[in-house]
């Protein structure tokens, strides 16, 4: 009798259409090599994601996890660290027997990024596992390292031939974490470097927001329903607000954050990607190339307002109260220089010059130490003329809204007017809510689960192309140039940003939605 704990990859039904995306997708035998395996990202996200994929039966039987870091560790030391990280962060129930099977396929290679011998050893390990573990030469290299280390690691992969599909006898892919440069010029330099080592289709630029279920649901909401498409345009939409708010400060990221700021850290990637999904046209087919083509069209159609002083606002938090606790201001955070002019809040008004969206303002904002953690997209529709009603009948009625909540309460809210019970005619706002957690019994996978699986499958749908990254920098670079040398406005921790951001919308006769 077979061991019930052994997880076999699901077998596809030969009678079903191979294009059916409901089929369980299991990669070919392969290795995942993580550079910077001892860092926060690997410990908190990547290692738990590997365990969760294994727990769900979505990793091949012949799968190898290889860690690379500057530690004097044995395979056993690495396994102990990986086990604790996976157990602490796993989304699925922890099963020691299940981990033991995965742990048998774990290896560690010590060394620094400029150590030729260490990379020669890594190459030898992968060659050895091609035979001993049946990975067939397939490997994905995850660069969980500072961008400054990308060049030396990529050159080492090139020198040893580990990036060469032909030499390896299988596929070789690379995963690049954001930020993708610090401006358009550096982004192009990074893209040229990566593309010089790996073929374009083997480069996966990861934006973890695109792995979230509610972000992917934007496509389903828009293109699987006839209800929304007729009103998804400037004839009916008054404005669009995209908010990504965090209640935390910068933590231990001062070295990175003070050189980056809110616009480069969040607007350039996460928020503009959300804008592209909201604004894109329907793709001709549900494929990576078709979807990314439509997103690029939107990003290239973005225009900035002529008056950036009034419609591009940045701020920096000062001491304040948040959730009943006194918190430090940005300049008092550990390792932040006292005269820092780095913004922790950014808000901007953009236009999309297409037939669908001409005349509809897109208001984007992001910030730290705001009242609560929330990411949402709010589509505000134009008000009806209310010809049958008197002004007093509808004075408490606002705009119809469609709110897509990306986090933390994943779901969709539709806000519309309804008559208040009673003898009087009075119309007020009511809301209909869809919550992922209440509607579906299966918990949503973490973003890194989906993205890691897609890398191993070679599915690039959720990964931005060079052109997307560069088009995003075309939007952000003029903002950074405008803000250069200007002191950011101040806002107290626990507030929704500086007052100037409120004035930005007030000039247009609008207000920010309070999540």
Q: Greater confidence, 352 or 98? A: 352
Phi, psi (deg, nearest 5) at residue 364: -115, 140
pLDDT of residue 429: 80
pLDDT of residue 3: 46
Sign of the Cα pseudo-torsion (293, 298, 303, 305, in order): negative
Sign of the Cα pseudo-torsion (50, 139, 82, 214, in order): negative
Edge to edge, what strands does the sheet with 172-177 contain? 106-110, 63-69, 30-35, 139-143, 172-177, 203-206
30-177 folds as: Rossmann fold (3.40.50)
Sign of the Cα pseudo-torsion (126, 128, 134, 136, in order): positive
Mean pLDDT for all residues in the chain: 89
| Residue 162 buriedness (CB in 10 A; 0-12 / 13-18 / 19+) | buried
Coarse DSSP helix, strand, coil percentages of the chain, rounded to the nearest 5 percent: 40, 20, 40
Euclidean distance between CA atoms 35 and 54, whole angstroms: 20
Q: Find the mean pLDDT for residues 110-114.
A: 93
The active-site residue, picked from 208, 270, 399, 482, is 270
Give residue limits of the domains in the chain.
30-177, 211-444+463-506
Residue 254 pLDDT class (50, 70, 90 cuts): confident
345-357 CB burial, b ≥16 within 10 A, e <16? bbbbbbbbebebb
Q: Which two tokens stand for residue 458?
A: 């070679």
pLDDT single digits (tens) 460-484: 888 888 899 999 999 999 999 999 9
Catalytic residue at 482?
no
pLDDT single digits (tens) 172-212: 999 998 778 889 998 998 889 898 999 989 999 988 888 88
pLDDT of residue 294: 96
DSSP strands (E only) in 169-221: 172-177, 203-206
- Count the neighbouring beta carbons within 10 Å of the beta carbon of residue 165: 15
pLDDT of residue 395: 67
Q: How far is CA 241 from the centre of its chain?
A: 18
304-322 CB burial, b ≥16 within 10 A, e <16? beeebeebbbbbbbbebeb
Q: What is the CATH number of domain 211-444+463-506?
A: 3.30.360.10
Question: Does 428 have pLDDT greater than 70?
Answer: yes
3-state secondary structure 316-361: EEECEEECCEEECCHHHCCCCCCCCCCCCEEEEEEEECCCCCCCCC
pLDDT of residue 425: 81
Name the pairing type of β-strands 320-322 and 325-327. Answer: antiparallel
Name the pairing type of β-strands 320-322 and 30-35. Answer: unpaired
DSSP letter for each residue of 86-114:
HHHH-SSPP-HHHHHHHHTTEEEEE--TT
Smallest CA-to-CA distance from 479 within 147, 207, 269, 183 is with 183
Share of the chain above pLDDT 90, in %: 64
pLDDT of residue 489: 97
Q: Find the mean pLDDT for residues 422-447.
A: 79
């Amino acid at each position: 009798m077979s061991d019930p704990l052994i997880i076999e990859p699901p077998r596809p039904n030969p009678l079903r259409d191979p294009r059916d995306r409901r089929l369980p997708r299991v990669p070919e035998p392969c290795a995942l090599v993580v550079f910077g395996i001892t860092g926060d990202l690997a410990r908190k996200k990547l290692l738990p994601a590997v365990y969760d994929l294994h727990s769900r039966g979505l990793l091949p039987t012949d799968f190898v996890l290889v860690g690379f870091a500057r530690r004097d560790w044995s395979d056993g030391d690495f396994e102990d660290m990986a086990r604790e990280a996976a157990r602490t962060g796993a989304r699925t129930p922890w099963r020691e027997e299940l981990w033991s099977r995965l742990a048998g396929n774990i290896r560690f290679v010590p060394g620094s990024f400029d150590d030729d011998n260490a990379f020669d050893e890594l190459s030898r390990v992968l060659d050895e596992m091609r035979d001993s573990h049946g990975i067939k030469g397939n490997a994905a290299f995850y660069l969980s390292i500072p961008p400054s280390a990308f060049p030396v690691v990529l050159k080492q992969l090139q020198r040893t031939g580990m990036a060469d599909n032909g030499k390896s006898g299988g596929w070789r892919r690379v995963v690049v974490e954001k930020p993708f440069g610090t401006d358009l010029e550096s982004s192009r330099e990074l893209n040229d470097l990566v593309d010089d080592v790996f073929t374009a289709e083997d480069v996966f630029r990861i934006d973890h927001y695109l792995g979230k279920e509610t972000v992917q649901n934007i496509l389903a909401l828009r293109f699987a329903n006839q209800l929304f498409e007729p009103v998804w345009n400037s004839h009916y939409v008054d404005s669009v607000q995209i908010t990504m708010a965090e209640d935390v400060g910068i933590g231990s990221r001062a070295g990175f954050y003070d050189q980056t700021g809110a616009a480069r850290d969040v607007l350039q990637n996460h928020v503009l990607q959300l804008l592209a999904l909201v604004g894109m046209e329907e793709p001709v087919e549900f494929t990576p190339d078709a979807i990314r083509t439509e997103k690029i069209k939107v990003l290239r159609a973005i225009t900035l307002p002529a008056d950036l002083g009034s419609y591009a606002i940045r701020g920096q938090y000062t001491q304040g109260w948040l959730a009943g606790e006194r918190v430090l201001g940005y300049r008092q955070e550990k390792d932040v220089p006292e005269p820092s002019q780095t913004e922790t809040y950014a808000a901007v008004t953009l236009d999309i010059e297409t037939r669908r969206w001409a005349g509809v303002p897109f208001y984007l904002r992001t910030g730290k130490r705001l009242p609560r953690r929330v990411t949402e997209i709010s589509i505000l529709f134009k008000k009806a003329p209310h010809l049958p009603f008197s002004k007093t009948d509808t004075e408490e009625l606002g705009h119809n809204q469609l709110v897509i909540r990306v986090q933390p309460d994943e779901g969709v809210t539709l806000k519309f007017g309804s008559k208040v019970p009673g003898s009087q005619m009075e119309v007020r706002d009511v809301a209909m809510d869809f919550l992922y957690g209440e509607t579906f019994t299966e918990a949503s996978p973490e973003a890194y689960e989906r993205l890691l699986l897609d890398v191993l499958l070679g599915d690039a749908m959720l990964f931005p192309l060079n052109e997307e990254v560069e088009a995003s920098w075309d939007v952000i670079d003029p903002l950074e140039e405008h803000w250069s040398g200007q002191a950011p406005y101040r806002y107290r921790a626990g507030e929704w940003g500086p007052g100037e951001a409120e004035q930005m919308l007030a000039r247009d006769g609008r207000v920010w939605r309070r999540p």
